[in-house]
Amino acid sequence: MIASFNQVEGSCADDENFKFLLTGTNYKWIKKCSFISNNEKREEHCKYGHVQGGCPFTCGECECQDDPGFTFVLAKTQEIKDCSWITRNKKKTHIRRLRYCFPGSPYFGDGVIGRHCKNSCGFCSATYDTTPEEENSLTVVPTDASNQTPSPSPTLNLPEETSDEEDFNFCPNDIHDNTSFHWKLNKWKCSKLIESTDENVTKRRRASNCVIHEVMANCPHACAICCDDNPEFRFETPDGRQKACAYITNNPDEDVIKKRQNKFCYSETKKFLLENCSRQCVVRRKKTSFIVKTPSCGGVRG
């Protein structure tokens, strides 16, 4: 287990078992709280809620709780939500934590939700395998709880949540994981995500690992990622045009397709395309060794 949160209520001590992966290192260097030994490193790593939860003493964050005054705006609908929204619906808690709390997730941004909603994100008393990663360009807009008018600050126009989240977790039986793919110092294979008979363990492992785009691409079955494209999803090209997923591979030139996949699917700022354009970004990307090769996605998104 790479990281665990075993704080004793009323205490303020770092979890001696907690480890995290450094940002920008392709997930190779695992560090403990003691690594955060000076102010510069604290500023860099303690901005993440999961690191604050595992290293409360070092980060100076001994009260692991939600900020009752914090709210954020869903970019597309402009709905204002507080931390409790993440866990309000038990059936959706897992997917919301995956989408909003963990580094590498589609709506993570600079980690502001994880910092302010540590308890709702599960960083105070749960067990997770955490992987800090380069932040993407999502701007989450914090608001004052007493002022329910969305801030005029710009937000990235990300797709809103799917109405039927079972669709997001759908993966047909003919999708196979890449058995040669490893991560976490070559100790984990895709099968590690689903080997436990405890459903909660499986959910936790998926929540913290399947947000990594390499894991998402290589372990579509273990991550239970929908392997079809979302027909309603649109993304913006550099010239301002709105395009559907099919645009990525709608070209007879294989080099053009490869360039589009590299540009739109695997850039640091657009990892959420993997979730919405799985067929075009993952299945059709056959020449890259680390991407899973599958014969067909099968199934149709609801």
Per-residue pLDDT tens digits for 153-175? 323 233 334 333 333 333 444 46
**Percent of the chain at pLDDT exceeding 90:** 1
Exposure string over 94-124, b if 16+ CB within 10 A, otherwise e:
bbbbbbbbbbbbbbbbebbbbbbbbbbbbbb
pLDDT at 56 over 50: yes
**44-48, 109-113, 156-160: the lowest-pLDDT one:** 156-160
pLDDT of 233 reads 76
What's residue 84's pLDDT? Answer: 92
State how far the Cα of 216 lies from the Cα of 263, in Å rounded to an integer. 17
Taking all residues of the chain, what is their mean pLDDT, rounded to a whole number?
Answer: 66
pLDDT at 169: 34
pLDDT band of 149, cuts 50, 70, 90: very low
Q: pTM for the full model?
A: 0.42
Lowest mean pLDDT among 40-54, 116-130, 287-301: 287-301
Whether 93 has a pLDDT exceeding 50, the answer reads yes
Cα 228–Cα 135–Cα 18 angle in degrees, nearest 5:
100
Average pLDDT on 56-70 reads 86
Q: Taking residues 171-184, what's their average pLDDT?
A: 68
For residue 69, the tally of other CB atoms under 10 A from its CB is 13
φ, ψ of residue 60 in degrees (nearest 5):
70, 35
